[in-house]
Amino acid sequence: MADLLLASPDRGPICDRLALGHRPDAAGVCGHPAHADLPERHPCSLVRLVTLVERLGRARDAA
């Protein structure tokens, strides 16, 4: 998944859209409905994936 995102020329907008709504609630749990059945602490796995892809992309673009 990270490789696919990294290879996409639309990486930035896709990452922004993926992370949309993944914010912590007052208890520090990600409030996105995707986690309704299995709550995750924020940053959730999806936000961590997007953060990783953004960091790898910036490093690659700078090289």
Residues in the site for Zn ion, rule: CB under 5 A?
Answer: 22, 30, 32, 44
Residue 63 CB, nearest approach to Zn ion (Å): 30
3-class SS letters over the chain = CHHHHHHCCCHHHHHHHHHCCCCECCCCEECCHHHCCCCCECCCHHHHHHHHHHHHHHHHHHC
Pick 36 or 63: Cβ nearer Zn ion:
36
Pick 11 or 30: Cβ nearer Zn ion:
30
Pick 5 or 44: Cβ nearer Zn ion:
44
